[in-house]
Structure 1
Amino acid sequence: MRLGAYVASSLVIAHVGPVGWLTDRMQRVPTIVLRMLMVVGIVVGLLTMGQPTVGAAPQVPTGQPGVLRVGTEGTYSPFTYHDDNGTLTGYDVDIITAVAKKLNLRVEFVETPFDSIFPALEANRFDIVANQISYTDVRAAKYDLSQSYVQSRGVIVTRSDDDSVHNVNDLKGKTAAQSLTSNWADVARDAGAQVESVEGFNQAITLLADNRVQTTVNDELTVKNYLASSGNKNVKVAAQTPDVSNQVFAMRKNSGLLPAVNQAVSELRADGTLAATYDKYFNAKPIAPSTWDVVGRNLLPMLGATLKGTIPLTAISFVVGLVIALVIALMRMSANPVASRFARLYISIIRGTPLLVQLFFIFFALPELGIVVNPFPSAVVAFSLNVGGYAAEIIRSAIQSLPKGQWEAASTIGMDYRTTLRRVILPQASRTAVPGLSNTLISLVKDTSLASGIQVAELFRKSQEAAAPTFQFLALYGVAAVIYWVICLVLSFAQDRLETRLNRFVAR
């Protein structure tokens, strides 16, 4: 019952009671810290509820019985991308769906940026990767790789006016845009090229077309589809690489899935499904939609992702972050050395490490310790902890900016520390803290775009999905920027109104 009371009180930040409760017990900080850690443990436990329990379906062991969880990029046309209706489709999507059907499993796709796809596989975020994974001896030593379901050559792409590349040896000394974890990055690096890291082919080809890099190496089928759909005359296929790439599905080592997946691929090859799917995506001429068509089709989905992803993620993270910030600020000002040092350490870690690293640590690293949190709660935890670190200093400085005479006057009329803080100090400090906390909130709105890297379907992720098959980066990223801007304008207006309202109570 007592622990339940602590949990309930920590969640009501608008009420001044929790502040008094915390400050009144600040001299018993070791006990308070222990209880705080217990509360955090309960919250994390609640966030992780609903995680699929590791089990084994008959004959085909998967992380969730009856379901094949598939990791894929979702932004790599024509293999894995979103069509005009926002439905995930593509060559790899169709093939792995057919494989799952052969295995009598329901397929569930988990979209992940390519450079995060293998860490997510190892963290048991999904069972298998279907994303044009090329067979390499290094990968075969670490993962279970299926038999090949399609083959293709690598090609070297340059600007149309560049005649300096005739074979792979001519890459030496040139700058190539590549995904660092792809086999094409190894091809470019082994040839002596300087590799510039990008998230995927879309960024690579855009950098090349803009003359920011000199070349990119990628799958012939991908480049063929791009040239046919985009009509871009500024780039060309300059040469082929000598190797033939065998595309495979990747699973965790000794997962038990490999024999069943290989059997399914063999059956799909024998019944003509592989050939028919190939013709569907690579022997039909794509139609390039106009910019207005692309924007019109994707505006509502982007607004939906804002309402369902970006705004809730911002609101929840900010509220939880304020609770953390208030606790840390009071501990930071405490005369108890344990409390003060803990608060200083927390703030130092939060301010001294990048937010993206904090986000990836929670989502990809903690599963190695057995702590698996879903994408949205992972983002909430990361953003809340980050807000707590920065907002704590804003709250602390606002409290300490008040004259000591305020404390002395309250003491003179018989107020204790808790009552003084609740009735005198915090109401005045809140006025001082509003600008800083508002800036933190506005920054948080924009920082939520980082959650696209851990499978959260927010605004920026939706714009990436829309841009992948169409290459309309200017239009779609421009629309996303306008939506972020409008949200921040609304928050800025609310900040001005709040400051005006609070200033009415200031003596002049």
Structure 2
Amino acid sequence: MRRTAAALLGALLATLVIAGAVLGLAGPSPTQAATQAATQAATQAASGQDEDRRVVRVGTEGTYPPFTYREGSGEDDLTGYDIDVIEAVADEAGWDLEFVESQFDAIFAALDSGRIDVIANQISFNPERDARYALSEPYTYSQGVIVTRSDDDSITSLDDLEGVTTAQSSTSNWAEIAREAGADVQTVEGFAPAAELLAQGRVDAIVNDNIAVLDYLNTSGSDEIKIAGEAGDEGSEQVLAFRKEDQALAEEANAALDALREDGTLAEISESYFRADVSVPDGGDADLSGGREGRTTWEAVQDTAWPMFVAMVKITIPLTVVSFAIGLVLAVAVALARISRSRVLAGLARAFVSIIRGTPLLVQLFIVFFGLGQIGIRLDPFVAATIALSLNVAGYASEVVRSAILSVPKGQFEAATTIGLDYRQTLRRIVFPQAARTAVPPLSNTLLSLTKDTSLASTVLLTELFRVAQVSAGANGQYLALYSVAAVYYWVLCTILSVAQTRLEKRLDRYVA
């Protein structure tokens, strides 16, 4: 049995190596690297890019109009005030930009782990951020405001926030202002969801940028919420955020911002969005009336249904298939290790299962993607999501496989020995075929859960099915309709898998007397 245990450990390691090769964890060979470099150079030449121009990865939310959003569907290009500003900075500084969309609460983690080089997402200046990051000069000046329900006149200043509940992005400057005022801050992923919670009476107020509020009121036409007062006397200054070690990059951005302010480009961009120059203090009151138009529910669904389907086919389904396949192989290896006579293997397997089942999947995703990124292991979003999901599947499915194997009567092992079968042959020809019938239903449940859990991949910069719905809903506020469409897509996928499970069970039942 010790020899078998060693073989199992070797098989497990081999599986990990093969998975790493398939998913691209291994570095490219010199020949591959040369080919990739030549391809990149050809692409740059074809697109008119200069090889000497630095590629700067810009982290942005993509769901925070009018600063950063996608108009219409998820297939439209990013647009907004911040997008125009960072593109103007790039032209002046000689950068090529690569946009990386992220939920706001994960955007600083992306910067810290080296996933992006700069955040362009209305980052407010504060001493804590200044101490930790290299911040540019301010390029937007705005006023914080307090938003309440239209029929609520009890909250008009920060002093009135003591003991009330507000909805904020957890890492935003406005959340800190609300906390300092004594509010109970509930975390949301943007202003539009916060406004919806406020309109439904689930929170009492919001503290946010007056420009974002004006855009929401103009676009949605909502009369359920109002600006009730200013959030203090001091305004807010928005900056670009870089890592401390990229101080030189921040200085390039500052030089570009100075030039753009001097030649009037920043003022021109600002006037086109706000009819005021928000790039300087006291540049006038922003006016967003007659700006972006709201979209009807039907228009939002029409624009987003196809991009959601494409994301499902390109990301959600492949991520599910690959993660389940790798996870199932690992699950079998872990299950066999748990029932082996080797105390080392059994102990390691128990520890693995305990860790995976005892920690949330979202935490596992963040450790693999953002955590490893801080120590120099920067995995592609799809690869990182696949690893985290595969390990999660292995942790849960291994117990299913183990119980299925143990359900086979011990007499089957003894009978196999009497006819000359060794341990591996017994597993392959006797045990696994019988255990499969027992394991299929619970493993199918694991697969269904995995299909839905892929929606968490949006937190690690992967634009899958649900992320497309989030982006579109953030731009037009049609949460019920778009999230319902996403739910239908997931339901159809799970229904198809359930039908396949039934057919597989019937097929396996044919071998039972």
TM-score by length of 1: 0.90
Correspondence 1:46 to 2:24: yes
2-structure distance, mates of 1:486, 1:38:
32
- Bigger drift between 442-451 and 251-260 goes to 251-260
Residue 45 and residue 368 in structure 1: after superposition, are their counterparts in 2 closer, same or farther (change >3 A)?
A: farther
Correspondence 1:246 to 2:237: yes
2-structure distance, mates of 1:462, 1:262:
33
- Bigger drift between 30-39 and 470-479 goes to 30-39
Contact 1:29 1:336 in 2 (8 A): no
**How do residues 89-488 of structure 1 correspond to structure 2 at under 5 angstroms?**
89-241=79-231, 242-255=233-246, 256-283=248-275, 284-488=290-494
**Displacement after TM superposition at 1:35 (Å):** 4.5
1-structure distance, mates of 2:13, 2:434:
29
Q: What secondary structure sits across from 1:465 in the alignment?
A: helix
Query: What code does the residue aligned with 1:76 have?
Result: Y
Q: Which runs of 5+ in 2 are unaligned?
A: 38-51, 276-289
2-structure distance, mates of 1:169, 1:293:
42
1-structure distance, mates of 2:118, 2:374:
18
Query: What code does the residue aligned with 1:88 have?
Result: L
Query: What code does the residue aligned with 1:26 have?
Result: T
Residue 312 and residue 187 in structure 1: after superposition, are their counterparts in 2 closer, same or farther (change >3 A)?
A: same
1:153-187 Cα distance to aligned partner (Å, 9 max, x none): 00000000100012111111110111111100111
Contact 1:230 1:288 in 2 (8 A): yes
Aligned to 1:32: 10
Q: What secondary structure sits across from 2:166 in the alignment?
A: strand
- Bigger drift between 394-403 and 412-421 goes to 412-421
Number of equivalent positions = 475
1:395-446 Cα distance to aligned partner (Å, 9 max, x none): 1111110111211222222222211111111111111110011000000000
1:345-402 Cα distance to aligned partner (Å, 9 max, x none): 0000000000000000011111222211111100000000000111111111111101
**Displacement after TM superposition at 1:303 (Å):** 0.3
Residue 24 and residue 436 in structure 1: after superposition, are their counterparts in 2 closer, same or farther (change >3 A)?
A: farther
Contact 2:20 2:26 in 1 (8 A): no
Residue 25 and residue 282 in structure 1: after superposition, are their counterparts in 2 closer, same or farther (change >3 A)?
A: farther
Query: What code does the residue aligned with 1:151 have?
Result: Y
**Displacement after TM superposition at 1:238 (Å):** 0.3
**Displacement after TM superposition at 1:286 (Å):** 2.1
1-structure distance, mates of 2:26, 2:12:
21
2-structure distance, mates of 1:34, 1:426:
18
Identity of aligned residues (%): 52
**Displacement after TM superposition at 1:496 (Å):** 0.5
2-structure distance, mates of 1:413, 1:326:
25
TM-score by length of 2: 0.89
1:174-231 Cα distance to aligned partner (Å, 9 max, x none): 1011111110011111111111111221221111111000001000000000000001
Q: What secondary structure sits across from 2:115 in the alignment?
A: coil
Contact 2:12 2:330 in 1 (8 A): no
**Displacement after TM superposition at 1:24 (Å):** 8.9
- Bigger drift between 84-93 and 106-115 goes to 84-93
Q: What secondary structure sits across from 2:156 in the alignment?
A: coil
Q: What secondary structure sits across from 1:78 in the alignment?
A: coil
Query: What code does the residue aligned with 2:62 have?
Result: G
Query: What code does the residue aligned with 2:64 have?
Result: Y
Q: CA RMSD in A?
A: 2.1
